[in-house]
């Protein structure tokens, strides 16, 4: 029996469940495979890289959903989705990112619509809906923290979590609310092995007449994706990138540096810890290989022990 890569529901002999297709559009009753193979998607990504406003290490393509033809179409302009095909250097990256984004949502983190779609030869490509688009052609004002900090793609690691908090104070309409989001996201990234959360993976967005943190994106377990990871986080916290303790993450970060109320810190902590059962369930039914599932389980247990 197949499992839907849009919802993780069992869907019989179909590739996608009815609920999954409805997430994309109430009018969508079927979704065709991408017209390209993974190799062709990578070639297209390289060929179109100069034209795209989205950048990064992972191959990416801009796309829109054509409801009438029941398919994702690759475009140069006015794309409303980002496609990320398989990465030859890192196995199962689409499956990893989609799973980790689902885990984030269960922990109360705001994430855009996302899922996976089959390419022509049956491999999975990750997609995420662009939160910087409003309607077919309008854009919302979005700036990543590298831009705010005056850093480049080459210096996106030359910063600290404490300075990230300062940028929130400077640019966000309601800094306390956004620092609470940052606190939740920091705990989540640590627990799920995301040691590549650099400045370009944080953004602010201007919507509903206020400036706030954008929905989370580029969340994945890099610790199980790369060989011999050397760090636990990308930007130092309390002067450390490794051997973080509960005191570093809870007392120092939440209380001393972010200045959050004890009650709010405890509520976030409790929700994160209570999410472990859901996380394990999601990992079990995910599209990762058995080996990578086991690595994910083991990392979660190891990081959870830090919290006592």
DSSP characters for 65-92?
EETTTTEEEE-SSS--EEEE--BTTBTT
Give the per-residue pLDDT at 205. Answer: 97
| Strands 124-129 and 81-84, sheet pairing | antiparallel
Across 193-197, average pLDDT: 95
* Least confident among 51-65, 111-125, 246-260: 51-65
Give the per-residue pLDDT at 49. Answer: 64
Q: What is the pLDDT of residues 4-56, one digit of tens each?
A: 999 999 999 999 999 999 999 999 999 999 999 889 898 888 876 654 443 45
Q: Which residue, among 301, 86, 83, has the nearest Cα to 193 in the 3D structure? A: 301
* Least confident among 5-14, 54-63, 130-139, 176-185: 54-63
Rounded to whole angstroms, the Cα distance separating 30 from 18 reads: 8
Tell me how far CA of residue 61 lies from CA of 1, 23, 88, 143, in angstroms.
31, 21, 16, 20
Longest CA span, the chain: 54
Q: What is the pLDDT of residues 254-288, one digit of tens each?
A: 999 999 999 999 999 999 999 999 999 999 999 99
Residue pair 195/222 in contact (Cβ under 8 Å)? The answer is yes
Residue 198: φ, ψ to 5°: -85, -175
Q: What is the dihedral of CA 159, 162, 163, 164, to 10 degrees?
A: 90
Residue pair 255/248 in contact (Cβ under 8 Å)? The answer is no
Q: What is the pLDDT of residues 43-98, one digit of tens each?
A: 888 876 654 443 455 789 999 999 999 999 999 888 999 999 999 889 999 999 99
Q: What is the mean pLDDT of the chain?
A: 93
Rounded to whole angstroms, the Cα distance separating 195 from 218 reads: 11
List beta partners, residue 72. Answer: 65
Please tell me whether residue 46 adopts helix, strand or coil conformation. helix
Tell me how far CA of residue 188 lies from CA of 73, 95, 107, 235, in angstroms.
33, 18, 8, 15
Is residue 232 over pLDDT 80?
A: yes
Q: Which residue, among 245, 163, 229, has the nearest Cα to 193 in the 3D structure? A: 229
Give the per-residue pLDDT at 228. Answer: 85
- In this structure, how many other beta carbons lie within 10 angstroms of the beta carbon of residue 110? 15
Rounded to whole angstroms, the Cα distance separating 266 from 263 reads: 5
Q: Which residue, among 189, 193, 237, has the nearest Cα to 216 in the 3D structure? A: 189
Give the per-residue pLDDT at 57. Answer: 58
Start-end of H helices in the chain: 18-24, 38-48, 93-106, 145-149, 161-171, 175-191, 246, 262-274, 276-285, 290-306
In the chain, where the domains are located: 18-134
Q: Sign of dihedral through CA atoms 93, 95, 215, 84?
A: positive
Rounded to whole angstroms, the Cα distance separating 195 from 223 reads: 7
Give the per-residue pLDDT at 208. Answer: 87
Q: What is the pLDDT of residues 214-223, one digit of tens each?
A: 999 999 999 9
- In this structure, how many other beta carbons lie within 10 angstroms of the beta carbon of residue 97? 22
Intra-chain end-to-end CA distance of the chain, in Å: 39
Residue 124: φ, ψ to 5°: -95, 140
């Amino acid at each position: 029996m197949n499992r839907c890569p849009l919802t993780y529901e069992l869907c019989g002999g179909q590739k996608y469940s009815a609920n999954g297709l409805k997430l994309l559009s109430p009018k969508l009753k079927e979704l065709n495979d991408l017209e390209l193979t993974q190799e062709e998607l990578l070639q297209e990504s390289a060929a179109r890289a100069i034209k795209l406003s989205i950048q990064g290490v992972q191959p990416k393509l801009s796309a829109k959903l054509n409801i009438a033809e029941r398919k994702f179409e690759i475009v140069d302009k006015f794309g409303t989705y980002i496609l990320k095909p398989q990465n030859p250097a890192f196995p199962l990256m689409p499956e990893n990112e989609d799973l980790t984004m689902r885990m984030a949502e269960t922990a109360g983190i705001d994430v855009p619509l996302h899922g996976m779609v089959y390419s022509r030869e049956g491999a999975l490509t990750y997609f995420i809906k662009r939160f910087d688009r409003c309607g077919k052609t309008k854009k919302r004002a979005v700036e990543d923290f590298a831009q705010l900090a005056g850093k480049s793609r080459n210096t996106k690691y030359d910063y600290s979590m404490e300075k990230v908090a300062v940028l929130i104070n400077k640019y966000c309409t309601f800094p306390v609310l956004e620092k609470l989001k940052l606190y939740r996201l920091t705990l989540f990234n640590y627990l799920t092995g995301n040691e590549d959360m650099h400045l370009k993976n944080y953004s602010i967005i201007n919507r509903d007449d206020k400036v706030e943190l954008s929905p989370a994106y580029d969340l994945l377990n890099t610790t199980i994706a790369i060989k011999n990871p050397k760090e636990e986080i990308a930007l130092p916290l309390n002067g450390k990138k490794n051997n973080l303790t509960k005191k570093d993450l809870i007392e120092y970060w939440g209380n001393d540096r972010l200045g959050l109320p004890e009650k709010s810190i405890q509520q976030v902590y409790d929700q994160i810890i209570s999410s472990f059962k859901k996380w394990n369930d999601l990992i079990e039914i995910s599209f990762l290989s058995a080996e990578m599932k086991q690595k994910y389980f083991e990392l979660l247990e190891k990081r959870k022990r830090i919290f006592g």
